[in-house]
Amino acid sequence: MSAPAPRRLLDLPVDQVDRARDLAARAGQPIVDLARRHTTVSVERATLRLAGLGGSDPDGIPWVNRLTDAVRADLHDDGGLAHGVSLPVWDALVRGEAEDLATLAQKAGAGSVRFRVPAGEDARRAGEAARAAVGAGVRRLDERRAERERLVAEVGDAPRKPWIYLIVATGDIHEDIPQAQAAARAGADVIAVIRSTGQSLLDYVPEGATREGFAGTYATQENFRLMRAALDETSRELGRYVRLTNYASGLCMPEIAALAGLERLDMMLNDSMYGILFRDINPVRTFVDQRFSRQVHARAGIIINTGEDNYLTTADAVEAAHTVTTSQLLNEFFAREAGLEDWQLGLGHAFEIDPAVPESFRLELAHALLARELFPDAPLKWMPPTRHMTGDVFRGYLLDGFFNLAGALTGQGILLVGMMTEAVVTPWLSDRDLALQNVRYVLDSAGNLHEDFVPAPGGLIHRRAREVLGESVGLLERIVDEGLLAAIADGTFGLMKRPADRGRGLDGVAEKAEGYVNPATELLEGGQP
């Protein structure tokens, strides 16, 4: 069963849709300009990771952190980052301070090497050496993307859309693996290894396979490698490629994006404002990091999943529906500017209207269909009810069935499996099996119902969709006038007020100096390695 071809069922005013996109571009462009003018410690560390630097010291601190911190300590302009780390690091290598990047990092961690910003011929040689090293990493992204395409062609793809997306996360990667394989055998098309609570606030990426994590499993390169290899094995067993998802968010967003590309993950949670709103990460840090991370995703052929569903966990799903649409339009602009194509835009939204609201299911259909028609070529990520799950598992199972039906009726691309035990316990394997049975029943029995589903012209669904679009246009007009950073500071999204001069990670942001060099940025913006 293929995804339904997008149809215009809402008869949205074309001029209003065009105006919404134009306003989103006008609101987003100053943020892009801001991101272009700045760098962050995580962008610089991601560049070192693409050049092949991995591992950690005996205390578990990654060598990319040690090396970046040493450069910052020796250079004093704008926090030591204004020229980036590439010129100082490869200048030291060209000067013979160490035979390779790993040794240089170890020497830097011991304080036995000093860094400078080279000039003239020294700068040219350092730049060439840096481009060669980072270029090899970017070529590796290309190779892993081609490898995915070959494997999908070899073993086959998921036979239907929406793809069924299921979360697995015990804290122990070696326990996650058999659970993920069991979920795939039970019908899941996408396995998401949810990240350990609090990892987004760590300004380093843990190293190696991890056996402990709270409400999730740490995102590490080795954990990525292990899970991808296991799902490749299961893909061959099942005759369909099983996709793997993790999180490129938080203070290490660019680094995790690079590691995901290097280890052939297929999707990454990557929202432009989630870290700002729900983790109190500095807005400038977040926007700089998300642009770089999305450039990596674009190159690696990774689908991003955005986080608009989270707004509806703190704000009313009816009153705040237009903020979801507004964020989707902004996410679309930022993603396209970074090089992502429409098939990579897993724009998020959710089934979160209070079931006690009259006509709640019809309103959910209106919101879901509005997203589907605004972004006809995007694989929308449709999220199940969470906020109004009460612990009554029978009621929860019914709500999830309605959610699955709405997804089938409106042609969502990625359908996250709802759990009837949401808000009660971390799901057992048996809970997941029942939840997958719910999804399979709805998709098998009503999967083609979209062919017959035509909302009445002028009816509630039509009126509600137009109302939300109109409110979104009004909000975008205000954002254009006031600026997106001001809107975020005012609590426009998710009722969270986040000023641009506050938040975690601000000390890791620097304005680029004249002569700033970053080979990764150059290559990801269109150069060939």
Cβ–Cβ under 8 Å, residues 63 and 107: no
- Tell me the per-residue pLDDT of 55-84, one tens digit each, with 9 for 90 and over: 999 999 999 999 999 999 999 765 689 999
- 107 as an active site residue: the answer is no
Catalytic hit among 91, 289, 309, 400:
309
Q: Where are the domains of the chain?
A: 14-28+160-466, 39-135
- Tell me the per-residue pLDDT of 371-423, one tens digit each, with 9 for 90 and over: 999 999 999 999 999 989 998 999 999 999 999 999 999 989 999 999 988 87
CB-CB neighbours of 112 under 10 Å: 11
Cis peptide before 162 (omega within 30 of 0): yes
Give the ranges where 186-310 is alpha helix by DSSP (H): 221-238, 253-262, 274-279, 283-300
Report yes or no on whether pTM surpasses 0.75: yes
Q: Give the separation between CA 136 and CA 153, rounded to whole angstroms.
A: 26
Cβ neighbours of residue 477 under 8 Å, at least 6 residues apart?
A: 23
Q: Give the separation between CA 464 and CA 366, rounded to whole angstroms.
A: 6
Phi, psi of 383 (to 5 degrees): -105, 140
Torsion angle, CA of 527/90/220/265, rounded to 10 degrees?
A: 20
3-state class (DSSP) for residue 430: helix
CB-CB neighbours of 463 under 10 Å: 13
* pLDDT tens, per residue, the chain with 529 residues: 344 445 688 989 999 999 999 999 999 999 999 999 999 999 999 999 999 999 999 999 999 999 999 999 999 765 689 999 999 999 999 999 999 999 999 999 999 999 999 999 999 999 999 999 999 999 999 999 999 999 999 999 998 889 999 999 899 999 999 999 999 999 999 999 999 988 999 999 999 999 998 889 999 999 999 999 999 999 999 999 999 999 998 999 999 999 999 999 999 999 888 889 888 999 999 999 999 999 999 999 999 999 888 777 778 899 999 999 999 999 999 999 999 999 999 999 999 999 999 999 999 999 999 999 999 999 999 999 998 999 899 999 999 999 999 999 998 999 999 998 887 777 777 888 899 999 999 999 987 888 888 999 999 999 999 999 999 999 999 999 999 999 999 988 877 889 989 999 999 999 999 999 999 999 999 766 6
What is the distance of C-alpha 48 from the center of its chain? 21
270: buried, middle or exposed (CB in 10 Å: 19+, 13-18, 0-12)?
buried
Instruction: Write a three-state SS string for 260-274.
Output: HHHCCCCEEECCCCH
Sign, Cα dihedral of 322, 447, 244, 403: positive
pLDDT of residue 1: 37
- 316 as an active site residue: the answer is no
Cβ neighbours of residue 286 under 8 Å, at least 6 residues apart?
A: 253, 272, 273, 275, 276, 505
Just give the CATH number of 14-28+160-466: 3.20.20.440
Catalytic hit among 189, 247, 381, 431:
381
Amino acid, res. 284 = V
Catalytic hit among 204, 247, 274, 516:
274
